[in-house]
Amino acid sequence: MTDWVEETLHKDLHIKLKADRVLFDSESAHQRLVLFENATFGRVLALDGVMQTTEKDEFIYHEMLSHPPILAHGRVRKVLIVGGGDGGMLEEVLKHRRVEKVTMVDIDDTVIELAKRHLRTICGEAFEDPRTDLVVADGIEFVASCQERYDVIIVDSTDPIGPGEALFTADFYESCKTCLTPGGVLVTQNGVPFLQSGELAATMTCLRPLFADAGCYLATVPTYVGGPMAFGWASDDPALRQVTVEMLKDRLAEAGIEPCYYTPEVHLAAFALPPYIAELLG
């Protein structure tokens, strides 16, 4: 019998991915975890009925949520990742040689252990990197009491249901702001605007009064159906959005990274918004 794993995220649209082999299916203290193999997407992680990451297209999401803020900033030493239990974001950020420390805070160590055991194509050796500081905690509590300051904060969260809900609140974004160094950047995963317009609009309503520059940029990730995905961008330094292709090319070369999706041209183009998305920024 063929198994299909159904995504139940959207009210009027459910997709199913064929599960050729189920590697893990269990409930943690925070969420239900299902890990399975699909011939097109490779290994797929689903949490609470929502596809999180897949071996075949994770590079798009992870590159586009890490390289734009780090390369636009240009002098990043410390990065905070909130969520990101699969380790893909950690692995991508650690490719930047100048980054000295990456703190990753995920609420669920079951996701981390699963990634170490079954998703090495995604996380590589990132969890063992000496620059990695791994914290198992609720992200909202971590940023509320954190004394450290970060040049870039990446919110690699689940959608605003279950444990991820708190990571879309004004209190959380306010705490993130206090954890940033002056001129630092906060980026957030904000879903697919065509299907989740309210999510992006709500985040923007929170970020606009907090930061001198708040907006979003886009990338299309096959796993997240419904059109391009939006990433929130917030900083008190609007100049970070005035970087040129030449500046980004120099910084990318200096970092020694060869991405599969990100290029300096893609970076700048990602900020061009179609009107149906631009109007959600308010």
Active site residues: 156
Residue 196 or 243 having the CB closest to ligand SAM: 196
Q: Which of 261, 262, 236 is nearest to 249 (CA)?
A: 262
H-run or E-run covering 104: strand 101-106
What SS3 class is residue 231?
strand
Residue 237 CB, shortest distance to ligand SAM, in Å, is 26
Q: How far apart are CA 58 and CA 62, in angstroms?
A: 6
Residue 155 CB, shortest distance to ligand SAM, in Å, is 9
Residue 139 or 228 having the CB closest to ligand SAM: 139
Contact (Cβ atoms closer than 8 angstroms) between residue 7 and residue 50 = yes
Residue 64 CB, shortest distance to ligand SAM, in Å, is 11
Contact (Cβ atoms closer than 8 angstroms) between residue 32 and residue 21 = no
* Contact positions vs ligand SAM (CB under 6 A): 52-53, 61, 82-86, 105-108, 111, 138-140, 156-158, 163-164, 166-167, 189
Q: How far apart are CA 49 and CA 31, in angstroms?
A: 9
Q: Which of 64, 39, 65, 43 is nearest to 52 (CA)?
A: 43
Residue nearest ligand SAM, Cβ-based: 85
Residue 148 CB, shortest distance to ligand SAM, in Å, is 16
Q: How far apart are CA 83 and CA 50, in angstroms?
A: 15
Residue 18 or 32 having the CB closest to ligand SAM: 32
Residue 26 or 244 having the CB closest to ligand SAM: 26
